[in-house]
């Protein structure tokens, strides 16, 4: 079993070239199969973001990911054009069908085939794979009952049109985005700290300010990452930003 938090920020090394290809800063998922499909890699030397198909991973270890050679990675911009349906899930909001906000995704447990096993929320709640009804770009819907998502598809409705000789027209009902008032989001630290490759992040220099969802400062631009920085970023769900917006000292 793998944890996304333990994969983010570890280096990717190609065996044939014996070279560091970059560090993992995010993971992308197929919402239909609930499977992790790509790792997002930041190449610091070239300042280029690349993607790594999960099937091209040779080995995942405690301290690095091995690929056979550098051709396993492709430009993330190419990936975005071809595979726009793949989405990141960390920090997504999770709602139950009863209308309650259950929390935000702070970590994800994957099985050996990289299929989602559990979503771990910021309040330590675990959402199992079978309880996930649907996954969107920013919101995940869940319920503890087996429900087919097709139940919620738009339906065809037959309407009488008296102004058109009582002919029946088939009208496709459109989805209506209801404006639902939401409570103000308050960023609060939780006890569910994400563990990551601390030895790799420590000592790196930030290239931009790292902020909470409410704009509170976690770490300043050009500051050196310390254990305290990592711990604070973990509490506020900002490890991805810490890995992405930092460079070697």
Lowest mean pLDDT among 12-26, 106-120, 138-152: 138-152
User: 192 pLDDT exceeds 80?
Assistant: no
User: 12 pLDDT exceeds 60?
Assistant: yes
> Rounded distance, CA 102 to CA 12, Å?
34
User: 1 pLDDT exceeds 80?
Assistant: yes
| Count of CB atoms situated within 10 Å of the CB of 88 | 18
Lowest mean pLDDT among 103-117, 167-181, 216-230: 167-181
> What domains can be seen in the chain, in order of their start residue?
2-87 (2.30.30.240), 198-247 (no CATH)
Lowest mean pLDDT among 43-47, 63-67, 135-139, 206-210: 43-47
> Rounded distance, CA 131 to CA 63, Å?
32
Which pair of tokens denotes residue 214? 């409410």
Q: What is the pLDDT of residues 13-60, one digit of tens each?
A: 999 999 999 999 999 999 999 999 999 998 877 778 899 999 999 999
* pLDDT attached to residue 43: 83
User: 102 pLDDT exceeds 80?
Assistant: yes
Lowest mean pLDDT among 101-105, 153-157, 179-183: 179-183
Please, is 90 exposed, middle or buried when counting C-beta atoms within 10 Å of its C-beta (0-12, 13-18, 19+)?
buried
User: 123 pLDDT exceeds 70?
Assistant: yes
* pLDDT attached to residue 121: 94
Q: What is the pLDDT of residues 194-223, one digit of tens each?
A: 445 556 788 888 988 998 877 789 999 999
* pLDDT attached to residue 193: 44
Bigger pLDDT: 149 or 38?
Answer: 38
Q: What's the mean per-residue pLDDT of the chain?
A: 80
Which pTM does this prediction carry? 0.63
The stretches of the chain forming alpha helices (DSSP H) are: 4-7, 76-82, 198-201, 227-235, 239-244
Lowest mean pLDDT among 30-39, 119-128, 169-178: 169-178
């Amino acid at each position: 079993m793998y944890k996304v938090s333990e994969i983010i920020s570890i280096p990717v090394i190609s065996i044939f070239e014996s070279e560091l290809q970059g560090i993992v800063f995010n993971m992308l998922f197929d919402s239909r199969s609930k499977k992790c499909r790509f790792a997002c890699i930041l190449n610091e030397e070239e300042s280029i973001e690349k993607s790594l198909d999960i099937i091209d991973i040779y080995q995942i270890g405690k301290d690095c990911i091995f690929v056979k050679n550098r051709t396993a990675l492709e430009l993330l911009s190419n990936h975005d054009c071809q595979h726009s349906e793949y989405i990141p899930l960390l920090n997504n909001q999770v709602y139950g069908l009863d209308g309650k906000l259950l929390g935000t995704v702070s970590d994800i447990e994957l099985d050996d085939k990289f299929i989602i096993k559990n979503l771990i929320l910021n309040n330590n709640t675990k959402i199992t794979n079978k309880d996930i009804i649907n996954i969107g770009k920013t919101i995940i819907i869940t319920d503890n009952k087996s429900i087919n998502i097709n139940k919620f598809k738009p339906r065809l409705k037959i309407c009488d049109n008296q102004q058109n000789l009582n002919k029946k027209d088939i009208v496709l009902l459109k989805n209506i985005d209801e404006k639902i008032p939401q409570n103000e989001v308050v960023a609060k630290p939780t006890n569910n700290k994400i563990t990551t490759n601390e030895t790799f992040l420590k000592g790196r220099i930030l290239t931009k300010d790292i902020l909470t969802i409410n704009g509170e400062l976690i770490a300043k631009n050009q500051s050196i990452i310390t254990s305290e920085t990592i711990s604070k970023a973990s509490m506020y769900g900002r490890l991805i930003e810490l890995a992405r917006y930092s460079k070697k000292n």
